[in-house]
């Protein structure tokens, strides 16, 4: 078995390298072992809805990478306090279970004085806290088994990055299972560095022969990283179909926006709420349908709608509907039989009910905001 020394910390590169090693193993009939680390990133499972698994605002503010892997399972947080391991081997079906790969890791941990044990099918725990999880991927007669080792990771960032803000998710994606986690470093009787632990792990795997990648190999890994693992299509667009409802309340009424998303593309949009409205929303909504579901694309589409006057036309139509044919409040006119209200007061109330006109409405801050992702035909 060849061991690959990898000091690159880009998650897109490292997942591309894993896939390339699988291709080499299939082509050459060889096997590989690799230890590697990522800079802060969230690695989501193959069949997960990315947006369900991350705290999008926190991730964006911290510059945390979000990358999809080939194997299934749940989302995990990586940083330089986390050590990842990969076995790339011939897929001798039925011969390899998760315990086959975790046993060397457990032996290494016990040799350092940590009471490590296999937990469930694919986790390693110390003192009831999960310190390692694993996943597998099979293709073309090759088995990839990889796992995480929380050595000295920032658990506060981990908990916030994987915390989705007050949202209920019921889409078709596979959900992550949250578990109590801990760091290996905190369970060791004597202090160890991540580098020391990496050296110990490599010593525990028998029959390793160093191998260096050629310049051509490296070029192919870079191409795979650029064309697959760095793309929005792979990292977000591969998410299963879902519908998201966003709700906000403004001084002029409440609005609910329903966005249908399939393969990361907005396929439908509908507005509902308790506001007064008879304007034509179609031009506004048409700008949203068909674009990738990202904050930047939504902001661009809405800015274009505002520049084209779509939002102003809607607001003006609503104001006219609320004012009624004689300039009064049509809704109140049916109940104000005495006619005691001043017409100017009625017009002011109509404008308040209809909301700000034109760009003023867009600038109104929401009093409350809420987001929920619901199933799409599940």
Q: What is the C-alpha separation between 352 and 354, in angstroms, rounded?
A: 6
Which CATH number among 3.40.50.2000, 3.30.930.10, 3.40.50.970, 3.40.50.300 corresponds to the domain 2-235? 3.30.930.10
CA atoms lying within 13 Å on the CB side of residue 22: 22
Closest CA to 278 of 320, 247, 312, 306: 320
Q: What is the pLDDT of residue 170?
A: 44
- Give the distance from CA 75 to its chain's centroid: 8
Domain 242-374 fold: Enolase-like; domain 1 (3.30.390)
Q: What is the C-alpha separation between 374 and 243, in angstroms, rounded?
A: 5
Q: What is the C-alpha separation between 100 and 205, in angstroms, rounded?
A: 12
Q: Do domains 2-235 and 242-374 have the same CATH topology?
A: no
So where are the chain's domains?
Answer: 2-235, 242-374
Q: What is the pLDDT of residue 74?
A: 86
Q: What is the C-alpha separation between 130 and 331, in angstroms, rounded?
A: 61
Q: What is the C-alpha separation between 125 and 21, in angstroms, rounded?
A: 29
Closest CA to 146 of 37, 268, 287, 243: 37
| Residue-by-residue pLDDT tens, the chain, 378 positions | 999 999 999 999 999 999 999 999 999 999 999 999 999 999 999 888 888 889 988 999 999 999 999 998 889 999 999 999 999 999 887 666 788 889 889 998 998 899 999 988 889 999 999 999 999 988 889 999 999 999 999 999 999 999 754 443 445 455 554 568 899 999 988 888 888 889 888 888 888 999 999 999 999 999 999 999 999 889 987 766 777 777 777 776 677 777 888 878 888 887 776 555 545 667 778 888 888 888 888 889 888 888 877 655 545 544 443 443 333 333 333 333 333 333 334 334 333 333 333 344 444 554 455 555 544 433
Token duo for residue 209: 């022969």
Number of Cβ within a 10 Å radius of residue 377: 8
């Amino acid at each position: 078995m060849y061991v690959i020394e990898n000091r690159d910390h880009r998650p897109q590169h490292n997942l591309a390298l894993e896939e390339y090693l699988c291709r080499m193993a299939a082509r050459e009939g060889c096997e590989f072992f690799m230890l590697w680390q990522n800079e802060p990133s969230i690695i989501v499972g193959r069949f997960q809805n990315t947006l369900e698994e991350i705290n999008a605002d926190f991730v964006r503010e911290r510059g945390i990478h979000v990358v999809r892997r080939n194997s299934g399972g749940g989302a995990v947080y990586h940083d330089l306090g986390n050590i990842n391991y990969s076995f790339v081997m011939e897929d001798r079906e039925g011969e390899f279970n998760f315990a086959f790969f975790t046993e060397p890791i457990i032996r290494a941990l016990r040799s350092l004085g940590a009471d490590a044990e296999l937990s469930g099918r694919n986790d390693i725990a110390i003192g009831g806290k999960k310190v390692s999880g694993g996943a597998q991927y099979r293709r073309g007669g090759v088995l990839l088994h990889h796992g995480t080792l929380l050595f000295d990771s920032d658990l506060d960032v981990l908990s916030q990055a994987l915390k989705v803000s007050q949202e209920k998710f019921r889409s078709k994606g596979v959900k992550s299972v949250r578990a109590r986690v801990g760091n290996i470093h905190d369970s060791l009787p004597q202090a160890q560095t991540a580098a020391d632990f990496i050296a110990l792990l490599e010593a525990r795997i028998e029959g390793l022969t160093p191998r260096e990648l050629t310049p051509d190999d490296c070029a192919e890994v870079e191409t795979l990283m650029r064309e697959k693992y760095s793309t929005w299509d792979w990292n977000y667009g591969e998410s299963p179909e879902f519908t998201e409802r966003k709700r906000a309340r403004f001084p002029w009424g409440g609005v609910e926006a329903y966005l249908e998303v399939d393969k990361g593309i907005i396929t439908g949009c509908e507005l509902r709420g308790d506001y007064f409205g008879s304007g034509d929303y179609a031009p506004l909504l048409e700008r949203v349908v068909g674009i990738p579901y990202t904050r930047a694309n939504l902001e661009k589409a809405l800015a274009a709608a505002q520049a084209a006057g779509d939002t102003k036309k809607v607001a003006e139509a609503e104001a006219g509907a609320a004012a009624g044919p004689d300039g009064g409040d049509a809704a109140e006119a049916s109940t104000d039989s005495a006619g005691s209200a001043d017409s100017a007061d009625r017009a002011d109330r109509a404008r308040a009910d209809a909301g700000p006109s034109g760009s003023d409405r867009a600038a109104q801050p929401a009093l409350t905001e809420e987001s929920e992702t619901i199933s799409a035909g599940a």
